Structure 1
């Protein structure tokens, strides 16, 4: 697969974005409290690969991530962070918000599990079945 532009939106359609990404390069599932409660499946891209095309999100800061969501329906769309170990300024986009990713692309996308619960981002948690 190669990099392509995907379009995403919240449930009510008030907030929309587009982002350049290559799903075949891997996605992430995390066991930290925030991701576990949201059942987040995400892909991290350089911040400049994300363009907001409609609406304004609101957010809150948890640790180093600025989580952005729709003020109308509450859908979490992406998180923004500046983490040198991950390449600097990034956007971590919720896979569930992608409108035009096909089931085949999602099935083929590798999933990398990370142990955010213990701040051990470079390791896989011992258990992931409940996530």
Structure 2
């Protein structure tokens, strides 16, 4: 069962099964949240659970540039963004896990994106991922 944590390891999580999808998002919100584009794993909420640190977990609510409402979940101790939830129908009932928080280094190999979102906002020097759908938004 894959597990992950924040930088200081105060907040930990696990999820079971294969992610529904894996995507890089180049939107401005992800740029601000992660200081770059973000690699995301979409996991069903009922396959995801916190295993430590619930008191340290903080939330921030925002409106994404697409209009959806998003909640970011981060460690109140070290500030690491761990996962996001959103009200967009495509994300309802799912957790958007930041792949960089998964503890197993092999997870990066397994996190190869099947899609890239907001490719018009991708840095010009960043080449598209071969085989990944290149989308102007989330769809």
TM-score by length of 1: 0.75
SS at match of 1:99: coil
Partner residue in 1 for 2:11: 15
Partner residue in 2 for 1:95: 99
| 1:92-126 superposed Cα distances (whole Å, 9 cap, x missing partner) | 00000000251xx52354311012xxxxxxxxx24
Aligned positions, number = 114
Gaps spanning 5+ residues in structure 2: where? 64-68, 127-139
Contact kept in structure 2, 1:7 and 1:100, CA below 8 Å? yes
Give me the CA root mean square deviation. 2.1
> Would you identify which runs of 4 or more consecutive aligned residues in structure 1 move more than 4 Å?
none
Aligned with residue 109 of structure 2, among 82, 107, 110: 107
Gaps spanning 5+ residues in structure 1: where? 116-124
Cα distance between partner residues in 2 of 1:85 and 1:13: 30
SS at match of 1:110: coil
Cα distance between partner residues in 2 of 1:14 and 1:28: 26
Cα distance between partner residues in 1 of 2:58 and 2:2: 22
Partner residue in 2 for 1:68: 73
Aligned with residue 55 of structure 1, among 53, 57, 70: 53
